[in-house]
Amino acid sequence: MNHRRIMRCAAGAVAVAAAVRHAAGLGAMRRTLATVDRLSPPEAPSEEETVAGIVHFVVPVLREQPHIRAAVDWFVPLLKQWPGSTLTLVTTARERAERILIAEQIAARSVRQPHSVAVGMFPELADDELRAVRCCLQRPGPVSAHEVAAALDSVATTDQVVDAVLADPALAALPIRHVHYTGTGRKAAQVNQAAAGLLRTPKPAYLAVYDIDSRPGPELVERTWASIAAYAARQGSLPGVVQQSARFTSSGTSPHRWERALCRGAARLQTLWTLRREIPAFRRYTRAVLGGHGPLRMLAGGGALAQTVGHGLWVRLDVFDNLDGLPTYTVLDDLPFGFRATVERVPVHVVDHTATAPGPEDARTLVEQGQRWFANYLDYSACWAEATRRGRGTPARRATALAAGWYRGATWLARTPATVTCLYLLLWPSTRLPVRATAAIALWLGLVTPVGQLAVVEGKLLSPRERAQASFELLLAYLVSSAGPALALVHPPARPGAERAMAPKTNRRPTPGANTSVTSREAR
């Protein structure tokens, strides 16, 4: 068999695999939409089934000065509606350390290339910080790190902003606290320190982790408690981990038309991931754990790994303690926490109602987000090593969870190559008809059919032109999807132990609105 024929056979196999995976995804999505965000609200639980619990909202913040007041104002009504609940804002000393690092980088650039220093090179800075640095750079000649640091220090840090906001007398009687983490760890370390200061009571209590731009509406919190109550009625115990999944939106703020189209497609693609992969995987995993399935059966059934998301993550306090909190040795904390829960066989209950969350609004942020998120998959080996060292789970559980994580990472990395291969087979004149048909089916199932499914659920009637446009935007997202993971392989984000490195996040420039709330069909 010559080289060209081998390549043709490999391309045909990719088309078959893509068609099978997209078909399986459509089936999973159909089953998900049959139970998620239903038109009729869930039946009210009986008095015996009602769970009267406490939720401790924890919001870790880093370089997010402009958004503190809006976040506090959003959570205040929730605290009043659920007595006993609390809100903790966790700032970190890392913010000041990173300011010093940025000051050194800007000063070094001004010495080497005094006319090429652009504040846009530092997306970590907030707008006020950028203006302060810009004024500093207007002086002739190179600037020193001390001068840049002084310019940055003229702008309040996030912990100072939090203190100023909480000094409002109207908030004095509310259970809102500010915890300042003095170490150099990242989000996981901040959350763990906040959890350590929470009062443990016999009453059911959950620690709920949200980002600064999270906007969990009262309906979502109420439905989450109802879902917990329904789970407890079925299983006889409260779920240890509860996940709120999200759909993603794009507000189209980019000045470039192609970027707006790309980001709309990316938000749609991430929503498809939630409905086709994330929610079904949680359900398969929990069914397997509760059914006592062995590791191999869990792997074969696609339920060998729970990939928790550190946004809308509720963890029962005693379970949080038993799992030693969020992992602090990995770049990110959400998927590694799911690995830890998996090897300990802790069920993860997914709420049957999705929130809406904002997606990136420009291509650079989109690629950087993919690079940052893919660090989760690169850390699975570290998760396996840590679980082995500490004797968590069995060797078989650890191995199957690792295999599932690597497989899911590989499918993400292969999204763009597989899409390009199918396009090539469809458009290349010498492609054999059966192979061309397979590639066309794969593209149709991946790009066209899902758009129609989402439109029906959202109550939209798309014209042929609108459907074609949405499918084209989804195609753009697929073509860019693997860029972030590829960059993560070449330039992996610095691990938490690297003190002289920036945390893998940028500043949230758009002022968040009510962008994370319950989204059900009756609300739309």
Question: How confident is the model over 162-196, as pLDDT tens digits?
Answer: 999 999 999 999 999 999 999 888 899 999 999 99
Domain count, the chain: 1
pLDDT higher for 37 or 500?
37
Amino acid residing at 115: H
What is the enclosing helix (H) or strand (E) of 101?
helix 94-112
For the record, the structure tokens of 297 come out as: 């059966």
> Going edge to edge, which strands form the sheet with 354-358?
246-249, 354-358, 518-519
The confidence score (pLDDT) of residue 519 equals 36
In a domain, 107, yes or no: no
Q: Is the pLDDT of residue 259 over 50?
A: yes
59-71 mean pLDDT: 92
In a domain, 188, yes or no: no
Q: pTM to 2 decimals? A: 0.89
The confidence score (pLDDT) of residue 295 equals 85
pLDDT higher for 121 or 520?
121
In a domain, 510, yes or no: yes
Q: How far apart are CA 197 and CA 158, in angstroms?
A: 20
In a domain, 124, yes or no: no
> Going edge to edge, which strands form the sheet with 348-350?
176-181, 86-92, 54-60, 205-209, 313-316, 241-243, 348-350
**Buried b / exposed e along 265-302 (16+ C-beta atoms within 10 A):** bbbbbbbbbbbbbbbbbbbbbbebbeeebebeebbeeb
In a domain, 437, yes or no: yes
- Is the backbone of residue 80 left (phi > 0), alpha (psi -120 to 50) or beta? alpha
The confidence score (pLDDT) of residue 113 equals 62
Strand, helix or coil for residue 90: strand
Local confidence band at 47 (pLDDT 50, 70, 90 cut-offs): very low
| Angle subtended at Cα 184 by Cα 163 and Cα 362, rounded to the nearest 5 degrees | 80
Q: Is the pLDDT of residue 67 over 70?
A: yes
| 71-85, 330-344, 498-512, range with the lowest pLDDT | 498-512
In a domain, 499, yes or no: yes
148-165 mean pLDDT: 92
The confidence score (pLDDT) of residue 517 equals 41
In a domain, 271, yes or no: yes
For the record, the structure tokens of 298 come out as: 């869990």
Q: Is the pLDDT of residue 221 over 50?
A: yes
In a domain, 411, yes or no: yes
How high is the mean pLDDT of the chain? 87
104-133 mean pLDDT: 73
Give the residue numbers spanning the domain of 353: 12-35+49-56+203-308+333-519
- For residues 352 and 36, the answer to whether their CB atoms sit within 8 Å is yes
